[in-house]
Structure 1
């Protein structure tokens, strides 16, 4: 199973939000580039990045930082946040990222998601962020009335190469992921699923390993706060 340490970028700093609330954030002293390099030095192979500035503005605000991370760390990077056109996708692919995550733009325009999968085969991941079973968009500022499972069924054959499922109510809380809802998503998804939101301990990681159609898990605040020992976590990164 793949372990994705998480770096959320806001104002060129590493931050963590609680339940997607931009007013409830913690800033960390390490720069995103330094933090990525430290993960590489620890032995991790993958990295999950969210451009929070991009999520709010719809622009690839931090593409230069992402390029530097890829260049200096040589990690397999997936990136999301504010990616709403082909030009932005191409910028990140040209920067060397492995997967580009489409979220709000895909939910609002399914044709864009379908065309992106055709234009950039194997490079497009779908990010589904949910609260009480309903999808949220635009940096979690905007709610929809569409259920996660219904939307997934509609786009399941588009050619998405990876699905990142986040329960907003769990994100940044360290209360363990919503395994039950994630299992429902994974059971119908045509592509492998990444678990996101609420990882609290190595036990969450071990539990995820034993689930069907789970490719990996994203770990954020539990790393920054020292709740998970990196040497234990990196052993799970296969």
Structure 2
């Protein structure tokens, strides 16, 4: 089970949102680069980064921060947020990102997802963000009329290398992930799945380890708020 500590970047700072609401955010003292260093010092190998500025603007806003993290701390970074074209994917890969997460742009244009997977094999992660089973797009401001499982059926053979499943209703709430829905997605997915949204305790990590086709789990707010201690969390990282 890979543990992915999360860094969400807004205006150059680490922030956490509640259910993806930009009006309901908490800013933290530590810069993203300092936070990445802290995770590295504890022994974590993977990092989940969301460029919230990028998600709002539809372009790579904080690529210099990603480059700084990768070059200084040798962390395997998956990065998402506002990635809308092949050039942006290439920019992130060129600065050393391990995986580039496509969300809204892939859901709105399946051909873009397919082309990205073909051009950048083993580099594309698909982010499925859902409310009540339906996909949300554009920084979670728009609900689509498409069920996540139906969309996955359509793109399952495109060559996505990782799937990140987030239940928005759980995100930032620290009420445990939606294990039932995630298990359904993992059972259908041709690639391994990362659990995201709502992790509240080490027990959540241990429960995730018992699920099939789960590669890892993202932990965000519970770290920042001190509910999960990093020295305990690193013991679950493999």
The normalised TM-score by structure 1 is: 0.99
Distance 1:3 1:194 in 2: 9
SS at match of 1:180: helix
SS at match of 1:126: strand
**Structure 2 portions without partners, runs of 5+:** none
* Pairing 1:1-238 to 2, within 5 Å after superposition: 1-238=1-238
Distance 2:191 2:59 in 1: 27
Distance 1:231 1:217 in 2: 16
Q: Deviations over 1:190-227 (max 9, x none)?
A: 00000000000000000001100000000000000110
Distance 1:99 1:235 in 2: 24
SS at match of 1:232: helix
Task: Kindly state the Cα deviation for residue 231 of structure 1 after the two structures are TM-superposed.
Answer: 1.0
After TM superposition, the runs of 4+ consecutive aligned structure 1 residues lying more than 2 A away are: none
Distance 1:169 1:70 in 2: 31
Distance 2:109 2:73 in 1: 34
Count of paired positions: 238
SS at match of 1:206: helix
Task: Kindly state the Cα deviation for residue 79 of structure 1 after the two structures are TM-superposed.
Answer: 0.2
Distance 2:202 2:142 in 1: 32
Distance 1:67 1:29 in 2: 21
Distance 1:217 1:172 in 2: 14
Distance 2:38 2:231 in 1: 12
SS at match of 2:23: strand
Distance 1:73 1:93 in 2: 16
Distance 1:134 1:174 in 2: 21
Distance 1:73 1:142 in 2: 36
Distance 2:235 2:192 in 1: 21
Distance 2:73 2:145 in 1: 40
The normalised TM-score by structure 2 is: 0.99
Q: Deviations over 1:79-117 (max 9, x none)?
A: 000001010000000010100000000000000000000
- TM-align CA RMSD: 0.4
Task: Kindly state the Cα deviation for residue 73 of structure 1 after the two structures are TM-superposed.
Answer: 1.3
**Structure 1 portions without partners, runs of 5+:** none
